Structure 1
């Protein structure tokens, strides 16, 4: 497979995952804002924009954090390269680049949903339409993953796609945890702290983990348990442990197909081993922020190694 085709598949699913993660954040923000007064709702939207990593870009264009401004900025702002509209455009561009390496079903899922999303975001989204738009974006991601799983040969293209998805998902979860943890808990001491359960509920909702977490923890919202769930519980498909175990499997499959291992396999093996040997107490002892910064740096190094190993720029 040509490096540029592999690059297209890898980034198609990175952007798809990034767009869906942004939609999940919006969904959580919308639900929280509905229960707040005007002033508190603005703080909620500030938190959502910050968690998405778009605060600087937003504040260059807007002086306040009203819901209408915030969600339209994240959904469709043309000058915002991280908007869902821009990201889904890149999903389709990369799908076209790799058109001969994906199934007809996957192309149809990407292309048809792009047309729907482009139409829905052609003009500012009002309060009566925003939830439907968010659902459309989340559904688009589900359809693309379903087409990938149900119609793609388990060859290079399949594994490059999943590698991109799990690299992006792990990065998103780590960043959400890091930003939210420090917004809620400036001190690293978590024992006996009084936490805003509504904000931690937003964390869980933004990663679609609220039902699974409550089922496992009898509905008890606790910072330590949430961190353990999102970092180490490999039963949850958006935990860091699950993402890295799946990434390791897909990189191992690529190595078998190519007949050789690269730097990405060695980095992945080391990272997965380190994570599997940690407990949540050890993570808190070293500092959650420090752990997450190290995790995101390692995740980025693995992504760079994948690009080098498989000559993405060739």
Structure 2
């Protein structure tokens, strides 16, 4: 496969997944902010989602204060924010158009129709009382795109780069979202119960927690589920297992050729599968998650270097 095609497929998937992650995070932040009695607590919810999105610095350059309206505008429609829902779907569509012949009709239709609807959507339909419905629409459109890929793509290199982008973006988002709430997961107080529920909701894992543990919510178990339990599709270990599986398949398809990205992914997966939540909490949840965010960014760069930039040289 041409390296430019691989790059476009990889980033199409990353941007599509990112749009859904932002939508999910905004929905949870909105619900939690409405439950916060103190203004400072409400502001902290919105600031937390800015940090998780990686866009806090850019936001503060443009907006004087953290307010719900400004945060929603920044994360939904602001074109100055490369991680806004609008920017992500636009970037996904642009990458998809570049490699249209590598996509199935259903995939291209799902991505293109989403963009065409979004760009014509009045601002009133993406804010205020309409925000909840809009965020659900974004999630449904991404699910449709992912489903089209799963149901209609050949299991070839194109498919693997799409899945690789999705898995890597999901790992990054999982670490970031959990890190934003690391402090309250370190406190075993029933006063944090609603916050613990919010963490699970961020990963669509409320029912999964009850299925796995069949007990009341405990912060250490929430962290264990989201980091170390392979049953949860969005857990760090599940994401890295998928990344390793895809990288190995790509290597087989290229005569066994491997690079630094394969070693980095395998090392991180080994660390997760052999780790324990007690050791992670003893190290410090924030310190561990910061390390995971850095590792995931480094792995993304290594994949680019090995499969895209080197191939173009």
- Check whether TM > 0.5: yes
CA distance in structure 2 between the aligned counterparts of 1:68 and 1:96, rounded to whole angstroms: 33
Q: Which residue of structure 2 aligns with residue 100 of structure 1?
A: 101
Q: Which residue of structure 2 aligns with residue 306 of structure 1?
A: 303
CA distance in structure 2 between the aligned counterparts of 1:41 and 1:22, rounded to whole angstroms: 18
Q: Which residue of structure 2 aligns with residue 3 of structure 1?
A: 3
Select 1:297's aligned residue among 294, 298, 301. 294
CA distance in structure 1 between the aligned counterparts of 2:287 and 2:67, rounded to whole angstroms: 33
Q: Which residue of structure 2 aligns with residue 262 of structure 1?
A: 258
The 3 A distance-change label for structure 1 pair 142 and 80 is same
The answer to whether the aligner puts 1:279 opposite 2:280 as a matched pair is no
CA distance in structure 2 between the aligned counterparts of 1:79 and 1:300, rounded to whole angstroms: 22
Q: CA deviation at 1:128?
A: 2.0
After superposition, give the CA deviation of every residue in 1:11-34 in whole Å (9 maximum; x if it has no partner).
Answer: 101111111111010110122233
Q: Which residue of structure 2 aligns with residue 248 of structure 1?
A: 244
CA distance in structure 2 between the aligned counterparts of 1:296 and 1:123, rounded to whole angstroms: 35
CA distance in structure 2 between the aligned counterparts of 1:103 and 1:150, rounded to whole angstroms: 10
Q: Which residue of structure 1 aligns with residue 76 of structure 2?
A: 75
CA distance in structure 2 between the aligned counterparts of 1:222 and 1:103, rounded to whole angstroms: 44
Q: CA deviation at 1:219?
A: 5.6
Q: CA deviation at 1:294?
A: 2.3
The 3 A distance-change label for structure 1 pair 84 and 251 is same
What stretches of structure 2 of length at least 5 have no aligned partner? none
1:114 aligned counterpart, secondary structure: helix
CA distance in structure 2 between the aligned counterparts of 1:38 and 1:67, rounded to whole angstroms: 14
1:196 aligned counterpart, secondary structure: helix
More displaced 10-residue stretch of structure 1: 133-142 or 79-88: 79-88
Q: CA deviation at 1:296?
A: 2.2
CA RMSD of aligned residues (A): 2.0
Q: How does 1:204-223 map to 2 (within 5 A)?
A: 204-218=200-214, 220-223=216-219
Q: CA deviation at 1:261?
A: 2.9
Q: CA deviation at 1:118?
A: 1.9
Q: Which residue of structure 2 aligns with residue 237 of structure 1?
A: 233
CA distance in structure 1 between the aligned counterparts of 2:51 and 2:308, rounded to whole angstroms: 34
Q: Which residue of structure 2 aligns with residue 15 of structure 1?
A: 15
After superposition, give the CA deviation of every residue in 1:238-260 in whole Å (9 maximum; x if it has no partner).
Answer: 00010011111111111111112
Q: Where in structure 1 do 4 or more consecutive aligned residues deviate above 6 Å?
A: none
The 3 A distance-change label for structure 1 pair 51 and 310 is closer
More displaced 10-residue stretch of structure 1: 211-220 or 14-23: 211-220
2:287 aligned counterpart, secondary structure: helix
2:275 aligned counterpart, secondary structure: coil
Q: How does 1:22-37 map to 2 (within 5 A)?
A: 22-37=22-37
Q: Which residue of structure 1 aligns with residue 67 of structure 2?
A: 66
Which structure's residues are more often helix, by fraction? 2
CA distance in structure 2 between the aligned counterparts of 1:69 and 1:244, rounded to whole angstroms: 34
More displaced 10-residue stretch of structure 1: 147-156 or 291-300: 291-300
Q: CA deviation at 1:38?
A: 7.0
Instruction: Say whether the 8 Å CA contact 2:27–2:135 is kept in structure 1.
Output: yes
The 3 A distance-change label for structure 1 pair 102 and 192 is closer
Instruction: Say whether the 8 Å CA contact 2:72–2:127 is kept in structure 1.
Output: no
Q: CA deviation at 1:197?
A: 1.8
Instruction: Say whether the 8 Å CA contact 1:72–1:124 is kept in structure 2.
Output: no
Instruction: Say whether the 8 Å CA contact 2:160–2:246 is kept in structure 1.
Output: yes
CA distance in structure 1 between the aligned counterparts of 2:44 and 2:298, rounded to whole angstroms: 34
Q: CA deviation at 1:73?
A: 1.7
CA distance in structure 2 between the aligned counterparts of 1:221 and 1:63, rounded to whole angstroms: 38
